[in-house]
Copies of this chain bind each other. A is one copy, B any other.
Amino acid sequence: MDINDNEILEVVNKKGFKKIFQFDNKQTIQLQGGHICPEDVLNSEEGSTLTASDGLKYYIFRPSIHDYIMYGIKRHTQIVYPKEAGYIVLKLDVRSGKVVGEAGTGSGSLTLIFSELVSEKGKVVTFEKNLDFLNNAKKNIEKFSKLQNITFINEDFGNSNYKNFFDAFFLDLKEPWFYFEKVYIALKNGGNFGLIVPTTNQINQSINELEASNFLVDEIVEIFHRKYKINPNRLRPEDIMTGHTGYLIFARKIK
A interface vs B, CB < 8 Å? 12, 14, 45-49, 59-62, 64-66, 69, 82-83, 85-93, 95-97, 113, 116-117, 119-121, 147, 188-192, 198-201, 203-205, 207-208, 216-245, 247, 252-255
Contact = CB atoms under 8 A, between A and B. Distances in A.
A226 B227 contact: no
Contact of A189 (B45, B64, B113, B230): B45
16 contacts: A12-B218, A47-B189, A47-B255, A61-B252, A66-B90, A86-B88, A96-B119, A199-B234, A199-B236, A200-B236, A204-B233, A207-B230, A207-B235, A237-B243, A237-B244, A241-B242
Contact of A226 (B64, B113, B238, B243): B243
Contacts of A244: 236-239, 241
Given A64-B90, A223-B225, 17 more contacts: A46-B190, A47-B190, A47-B252, A48-B254, A48-B255, A59-B252, A59-B254, A200-B200, A200-B235, A203-B232, A204-B233, A217-B230, A221-B226, A222-B226, A240-B240, A240-B243, A241-B243
Given A90-B66, A116-B95, A208 B221 contact: no
Contacts of A59: 216, 252, 254
A61 to B, nearest CB: 5
Contacts of A60: 190
